[in-house]
Amino acid sequence: MTESDLPPRLTRLTFHGPLSEARAARIVGRLGRAAPARVLDIGCGWGELMLRVLDAVPGARGVGVDLSARDLARGRANAEARGLGDRVEFIEESAAGAGAGRGPADLVLCLGASHALSDAEPPRHTAAALAALRRSVAPGGRVLLAEGFWQRSPTAAELAAMWPGARADEHHGLDGLTALAVSAGFRPAWIETASDDEWEHFESGYQSDVEEWLAAHPGHPLAQETRERVDRHRTSWLAGYRGVLGMAYLTLIPVD
């Protein structure tokens, strides 16, 4: 079976998370004003936000690390298409290795990848990830952390519909998450959270390629397995974490 026989992957998504064009532009504008010379994107995927920062800051250089060869290839292709290929590297390695050995950078991005910076069980991994990010950022630099948080306490029924083993203590609230960042040696320069529209765009885009493939290939050998997988994910969102799980975007400044 060839790659062309399989469902396309995430082609409808610009960002691998609930992030709108408008919010991304505001974030890039704020981060760009600090004129970072070196950008490190931990768990970068295809590194879309990093590429936009590099485009906004002439001369800045970036390094993105991830374990997905497919996403990294997409990032390299996007960089070449924008004339940024000589200013960015996409490296296949663990996020933990990046946090330990590729800093300090003037700007560190960690967008939905904090779990890869620590072996601790959630939610303890967040504090460990923040400590790693504090070590990875240069004095006067910035960290952009995108991290999940509970918008409210989930009910037992909602937890049962989420991912396997979901727990009410798995995430902090926004106040607790921000307090952890302060305890790790940061000041929160900007606190914002994904909107319902951003979540719906992300979740629909996450599934859309596969749903259209299923509609066009009902008899494919992988159709049943794929259908069951996407149905589980949709139920997890609609009956589980929709309106319960939030995404915070924290712009953090390191302090002594």
C-alpha radius of gyration, the chain, whole number:
19
What range does the domain containing 23 cover?
A: 18-153+163-196+245-254
Rounded Cα distance, 86 and 79, in Å: 9
Q: How far apart (Å, rounded) are the C-alpha atoms in residues 31 and 25? A: 10
Return the pLDDT at 97.
Answer: 65
Whether residue 123 is preceded by a cis peptide bond, meaning omega within 30 degrees of 0, is yes
Tens-place pLDDT, residues 100-136: 567 799 999 999 999 989 888 899 999 999 999 999 9
* Burial status of residue 256 (CB atoms within 10 A of its CB: 0-12, 13-18, 19 or more): exposed
Question: What's 116's DSSP letter?
Answer: G
Residue 127 lies inside a defined structural domain of this protein: yes
**Three-state DSSP class for residue 6:** coil
> What separation in angstroms does the CA of 93 have from each of 72, 184, 190, 208?
11, 25, 30, 29
Record the pTM. Answer: 0.95
CB 74 within 8 A of CB 5: no
pLDDT at 34: 95
- Is 67 domain-assigned? yes
Mean pLDDT within 14-25: 98
In the chain, at which residue ranges do the beta strands (DSSP E only) sit?
Answer: 38-42, 61-66, 88-92, 105-111, 137-150, 186-193, 245-254
Asked if the model's pLDDT at residue 2 lies above 60, the reply is no
Q: Provide the CATH number for the domain around residue 38.
A: 3.40.50.150
Residue 237 lies in a domain: no
Q: State mean pLDDT over 53-68.
A: 97
Q: Is residue 83 part of a domain?
A: yes
10 DSSP 8-state letter? S
Phi, psi of 208, rounded to the nearest 5 degrees:
-60, -45
Domain-embedded: residue 2: no
Sheet holding 61-66: strands in order across? 88-92, 61-66, 38-42, 105-111, 137-150, 245-254, 186-193
Q: Is residue 230 part of a domain?
A: no
- Structural domain contains residue 41: yes
What pLDDT digit, counting tens, does each position of 144-194 carry?
Answer: 999 999 999 999 999 999 999 999 999 999 999 999 999 999 999 999 999
Contacts of 47 (CB under 8 A, 6+ apart): 41, 62, 64, 75, 78, 79, 88, 90
Specify the residue for token string 């609930």. 18
Domain count of the fold of the chain: 1
How far apart, in whole angstroms, are the C-alpha atoms of residue 107 and residue 105? 5
Residue 216 located in a structural domain: no
